[in-house]
Amino acid sequence: MIRDKTNAANTRLTPHGSRITDHASRITHHGSPVMALEIDDRTQQFIREHRVARLATADGDGRPSVIPICYVFDGAAIYSPIDEKPKSVAPRRLKRVRNIETNPHVSLVIDDYSDDWGELVYVQVSGLADVMSAGNAEHARAVGLLREKYPQYLTMAIEERPIIKVTPAQVKRWAMR
């Protein structure tokens, strides 16, 4: 692979001309300080502007589950509500919630697909997730951000429901362009 000297982040070109940008940091969980992850402006913009991501979780035995989610990104964390769209079980019984409570390691994919494969782009965010209960300042701030991005949440009581917080530990951006 060839290093791209135009970007301060760890960007490399594959032999086929695809760009891969890696951002990584060490991260700790459960009461220990979390180191901020520096993500370049172009990748941050890509994450912020998209409206749907795919959240991958795994249970205690490593069995994966992937679902589409709505989310917001504040530059440091990604927040996704357990909203009022129809669900077959109570919010705390959802598979993604149970998986995160058992195994906080998650991954998100945000992507652009095109039949012109020269336009393909994705960002993969790996990190630790936490299920935040209502009633604290961070939860309230996340609710406000979610309602700014998705007007549908103005009519849902997401301020009373859990929100999944993902703290990125590694971010990879891949693009053909």
The residues spanned by each domain of the chain are: 25-175
What are the pLDDT tens digits along the chain (177 aa)? 333 333 445 665 555 455 555 655 433 344 444 556 889 999 999 999 999 999 999 999 999 999 999 999 999 999 999 988 867 777 777 899 999 999 999 999 999 999 999 999 999 999 999 999 999 999 999 999 999 999 999 999 999 999 999 999 999 999 986
Please report the DSSP string for 18-78 in residue order. Answer: -EEEEEE-----SSS--PPPP--HHHHHHHHH---EEEEEE-TT--EEEEEE--EE-SS-E
Judge contact between 103 and 65, C-beta under 8 A.
Answer: no
62/13 Cα distance (integer angstroms): 32
Q: What pLDDT is attached to residue 132?
A: 96
Strand partners, 42: none
25-175: CATH class:
mainly beta
Distance, CA of 83 to CA of 65 (rounded, Å): 18
3-state secondary structure of 7: coil
